[in-house]
Amino acid sequence: MRLLVFGGWGQFGTELVLAAEGRHELIRPTHLEADVTDGGAVEAAVRAVRPDAVVNAAAFHRVERCEEDPGTAMAVNTVGAVNVARAAAGAGARAVLVSSDYVFDGEKGIGYAEDDRPSPVNLYGVSKAAAEQGVRIVCPDSMVVRLSGLFGHAGSSGKGGNFVESVLARASAGESLSVVDDQRLSPTAAADAAARLLELLDCAAPAGMYHLANQGSCSWFELAGAVLELSGLQAQLSPRSTGPDEVRRPRCSVLADTRTGPLGLAPTRPWRRALAWYLEARAEPRFRRSPR
Ligand SMILES: NC(=O)c1ccc[n+]([C@@H]2O[C@H](COP(=O)([O-])OP(=O)(O)OC[C@H]3O[C@@H](n4cnc5c(N)ncnc54)[C@H](OP(=O)(O)O)[C@@H]3O)[C@@H](O)[C@H]2O)c1
């Protein structure tokens, strides 16, 4: 399969490259080469590559920045998503939008299923929820894959790393950590989500919504504790509540995957096992960070 990936040099895209190695051809224009907000540039890239599937992992996703600059959030996350999906549809390719657990308000209290109604509580979530709708309208043969709390070896370029790496860095520097315990998530290895997306494409999964997450859930505080425990680093770790001045985030954005099992795909591994693998694999040359 020939895959064209927008946002392919980020955390998720980098794992997609590794997962596709030797099996699929993957082309990933840089942000400079094809800005998703530029419909003409996106269309030209799709026309030049003639892909079987187009994955849009490009995003403006630092939550605080989306509140400060909703124009850019909507331009990149929503209009960009529609541009990519429309170009894919025009070229007869499948479109895949990478979306987020933050489309939910977090009040359900248990894991969200794919058909649960989005009800975002911040502008990043609004831009992603609108993207999901837009993509479905312009490209009926599209998949939307929601992810949550990613940790990938490249680190998120938009967020300047990932949570696991920042816990490791701060603990190594001898800093103490105070981490929120009132937000639950599905921590997910970007490598596992990338592999699962390729499985969906390989088995020609039906169009629609999918949740790609490692099994289980925890709070950010518990995740920090697991990082320290599994890495053997010592640091003072204390729980805190989300502050009144912080951007509102869902209290429980756990993603339940009810769709990939019925397609015959094996369950993903629990998040702790994925985290243990991630921490070990950091030492492998192919996972070492390279300057972007
Ligand atoms: N990270 C998470 O915890 C998380 C959780 C849930 C969902 N997601 C979703 O998963 C996807 C991938 O996340 P990630 O962690 O891999 O993000 P990332 O590392 O920040 O990668 C995003 C990529 O998009 C590129 N990009 C940004 N604006 C662009 C534009 N206007 N046109 C073209 N490319 C653009 C960036 O390039 P530059 O760096 O050169 O700008 C970067 O290569 C995103 O859709 C995100 O919303 C992430």
pLDDT in tens, 123-182: 999 999 999 999 999 998 899 999 999 999 999 888 889 999 999 999 999 999 999 999
Q: Which CATH superfamily is domain 2-281 in?
A: NAD(P)-binding Rossmann-like Domain (3.40.50.720)
pLDDT tens, position by position, 235-272: 999 999 999 999 999 999 999 999 999 999 999 999 99
Which of 82-91, 104-113, 134-143, 278-287 is predicted least confidently? 278-287
Whole-angstrom distance, CA of residue 194 vs CA of residue 20: 9
Residue having the nearest C-alpha atom to atom 30 of ligand 1: 35
- How many angstroms separate the alpha carbon of residue 58 from the centre of ligand 1? 4
Is 84 a residue whose pLDDT tops 50? Answer: yes
> Residue 289: pLDDT band by 50, 70, 90 thresholds?
low
| Helices (H) then strands (E): counts for the chain | 10, 12
Question: Percent of the chain having pLDDT more than 70?
Answer: 98
Q: What is the pLDDT of residue 287?
A: 74
Q: What is the mean pLDDT of residues 181-202?
A: 98
User: At residue 221, does pLDDT exceed 80?
Assistant: yes
Helix axes 163-172, 271-281, angle to 10 degrees: 60
pLDDT of residue 288: 64
Partnered with residue 219 across adjacent β-strands are 184
- Rounded Cα distance, 120 and 138, in Å: 22
Domain ranges of the chain: 2-281
Residue numbers annotated as active site: 124
Q: Is the pLDDT of residue 197 over 80?
A: yes
Over the chain, what is the mean pLDDT? 96
pLDDT per position as a tens digit, 18-44: 999 999 999 999 999 999 999 999 999
Q: Which two tokens stand for residue 189?
A: 């290895």
pLDDT at residue 291 greater than cutoff 70? no
- Between CA 158 and CA 169, with CA 103 as vertex, the angle to 5 degrees is 35
**CB of 12 sitting under 6 A from ligand 1:** yes
In this predicted structure, what is the pLDDT of residue 160?
83
User: How far, in Å, are 101, 200, 248 from residue 262 at the CA level?
Assistant: 21, 12, 35
Q: pLDDT at position 292, please?
A: 39
- Distance from the CA of 45 to the center of ligand 1, in angstroms? 18
In the predicted structure, residue 227 carries a pLDDT above the cut 70? yes
* Ligand 1 site, residue 36, Cβ cutoff 6 A: yes
pLDDT at 239: 98
36, 150, 167, 214: which to mutate for ligand 1, most atoms within 8 A of CB? 150
- Give the DSSP per-residue string, 119-158: --SSHHHHHHHHHHHHHHHH-SSEEEEEE-SEE-TT-BTT
Which is the closest atom of ligand 1 to the Cα of 14? 16
The number of the ligand 1 atom at minimal distance from the alpha carbon of 56 is 45
pTM for this structure? 0.97
